[in-house]
């Protein structure tokens, strides 16, 4: 049986980060985590692009443009959505997650969801670099692995 697996080597990969400015005190930790992962995995600074957008809801339209350009091995969306008194946060998270999948399927470029969704600020802080790790770091790892899997197919 032949098995194809991706490795965690970013050398030679070009990756775009799309980060929201909303909840920037959280998102900046995700950006730092993603950059740290890319560098630790052997990626070069020149092969990483960061694009800023207003909020998480705006990430998919930019991610689609970047993925469709075929200039990037993967795209990572980074944002933080904290549930409030209305279902608005849930709608944003569902919409962005669905869009990331659709973009990846349409373009063949991995679009990884690094948008933290939390019920409260404490949970969000935990997922952006404290007790539960850094979702930006994990999203970059997934992007690198997926890009390498696709390159081997």
E-assigned strands of 54-143?
74-82, 111-118
> Is the CB of residue 114 less than 8 Å from the CB of residue 34?
yes
To the query of whether residue 88 is one of the catalytic residues in this protein, the response is yes
Our measurement of the distance from residue 144's CA atom to the centroid of its chain's CA atoms, rounded to an integer in Å, reads 11
SS3 73: coil
Helix (H) or strand (E) holding 49: strand 48-53
Of 56, 55, 43, nearest to 16 (Cα)? 43
Own/partner contacts of 121-126, CB < 8 Å, gap of 24 or more, are 121/82, 123/82, 124/23, 124/26, 124/80, 124/82, 125/26
- Which of 11, 21, 40, 88 is the catalytic position? 88
Give CA–CA dist 144/76, Å, rounded.
10
Provide the annotated active-site residues: 88
């Amino acid at each position: 049986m032949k098995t194809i697996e991706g490795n965690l080597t970013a050398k030679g990969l070009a990756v775009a980060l799309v980060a929201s400015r909303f909840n920037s005190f959280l998102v900046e930790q995700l950006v730092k985590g993603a950059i740290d992962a890319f560098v630790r995995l052997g990626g070069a600074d020149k092969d990483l692009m960061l694009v800023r957008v207003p909020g998480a809801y705006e990430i998919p339209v930019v991610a689609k443009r970047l993925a469709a350009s075929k200039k990037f091995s993967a795209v990572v969306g980074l944002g933080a959505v904290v549930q409030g008194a209305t279902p608005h946060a849930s709608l944003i998270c569902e919409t962005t997650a669905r869009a990331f999948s659709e973009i990846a399927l349409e373009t063949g470029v991995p679009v990884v969801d690094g948008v933290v969704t939390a019920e409260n600020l404490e949970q969000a802080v935990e997922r952006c670099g404290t007790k539960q790790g850094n979702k930006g770091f994990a999203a970059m790892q997934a992007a690198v692995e997926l890009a390498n899997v696709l390159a081997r197919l």
